[in-house]
């Protein structure tokens, strides 16, 4: 019996993953598993570039609107969720589509992760409280002292990632890197095909800047204002929300906040690309070359 296949569509933010994944799912008459660490939250819409209601109606999606911002969502949890999702899809289809830009989630799905330690609620509350007063500088200093190994390689401009690393170190006494880099990779009973979407940098950055303008026009500021009471949750330590929270505090004016969203999104895209380029199993293609992509895939499935 031939193995089932999961086709992974990855790449940076604003590169065009959603439309390509939906077109692929329609071509293969199958469903999609999102691998985006923010689109799973019901309370977040505009700022996470969630698929539209029309797009969600076209193809069944898993891990979209599946959780609340108060839930503890992480790569280990995603691994179990996504494996169950593709199992469900494979009951009726030979092919499943996964799409997203969260590299750690995709790696967890493909290779597995060591079981993450239980996080103390007291430790999480202390980190959130200290972050609310000391900001990113406090987080960076803490992680540099408590987990220099992670500090040397981690996303030190990303508050959510730093807080997660601190939680694990203070709860377990071990670096989160020790859980993410297990020696024995998991094996899956299905094939995995990795597709990376890429665009010339100037074109991608143009897409990013335009998307931010479209988000503002669509009401991102109103969405962020509605989330002010939850601003210290891990789920909201992300580009597009933290800059507008600062604006609402009076730290930045509106124009500067929007410019910071664009700049920080460009930086995030650069980190995403660096992550995915390290994986030599990705086949890279332009999102506009859909016919070429179909031809490539039909030679493999």
What pLDDT score was predicted for residue 109?
97
Name which residue leads in pLDDT, 283 or 119.
Answer: 283
d(CA 12, CA 286): 12
CA distances from 43 to 149, 221, 222, 233 (A): 34, 14, 12, 12
What pLDDT score was predicted for residue 104?
92
Q: Percent of the chain having pLDDT more than 70? A: 98
What pLDDT score was predicted for residue 10?
98
- Average pLDDT of the chain is 93
pTM of the shown model: 0.87
State the DSSP H helix or E strand holding residue 120, giving kind and residue range, or none if neither. Answer: none
d(CA 289, CA 66): 31
- Helix H, strand E, coil C: the string for 180-229 is HCCCCCCCCCCEEEEEEECCCHHHHHHHHHHHHHHHHHHCHHHHHHHCHH
How many residues would you count in the chain?
Answer: 301
Q: For 41-65, write each residue's pLDDT tens digit.
A: 999 999 999 999 999 999 999 999 9
Q: Percent of the chain having pLDDT more than 90? A: 79
Instruction: Answer whether residue 217 shows pLDDT above 70.
Output: yes
Cα atoms in the 13 Å half-sphere on the side-chain side of 103: 21
């Amino acid at each position: 019996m031939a193995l089932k296949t999961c086709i992974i569509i990855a790449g940076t933010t604003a590169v065009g993953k959603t439309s390509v994944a939906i077109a692929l799912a329609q071509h293969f008459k199958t469903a999609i598993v999102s691998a985006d660490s923010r689109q799973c939250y019901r309370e977040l819409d505009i700022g996470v570039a969630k698929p539209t209601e029309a797009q969600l109606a076209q193809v069944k999606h898993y891990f979209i609107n599946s959780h609340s911002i108060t839930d503890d969502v992480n790569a280990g949890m995603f691994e179990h969720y996504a494996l169950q999702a593709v199992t469900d899809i494979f009951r009726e289809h030979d092919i499943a589509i996964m799409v997203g830009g969260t590299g750690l989630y995709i790696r967890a799905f493909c290779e597995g992760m060591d079981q993450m330690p239980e996080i103390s609620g007291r430790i999480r509350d202390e980190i959130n409280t200290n972050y609310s007063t000391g900001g990113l500088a406090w987080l960076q200093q803490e992680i540099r002292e408590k987990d220099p190994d992670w500090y040397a390689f981690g996303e030190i401009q990303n508050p959510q990632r730093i807080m997660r690393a601190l939680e694990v170190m203070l709860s377990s006494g071990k670096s989160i890197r020790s859980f993410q880099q297990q020696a024995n990779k998991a094996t899956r009973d299905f094939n995995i095909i990795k597709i990376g979407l890429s665009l010339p940098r100037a074109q991608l950055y143009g897409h990013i800047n335009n998307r931010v303008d479209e988000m503002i026009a669509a009401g991102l500021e109103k969405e962020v204002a509605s989330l002010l009471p939850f601003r210290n949750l891990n789920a909201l330590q992300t580009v597009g929300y933290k800059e507008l929270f600062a604006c609402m505090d009076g730290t930045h004016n509106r124009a500067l906040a929007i410019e910071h969203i664009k700049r920080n999104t460009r930086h995030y895209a650069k980190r995403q690309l660096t992550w995915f380029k390290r994986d030599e199993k990705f086949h890279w293609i332009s999102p506009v070359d859909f016919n070429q992509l179909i031809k490539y895939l039909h030679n493999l499935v």
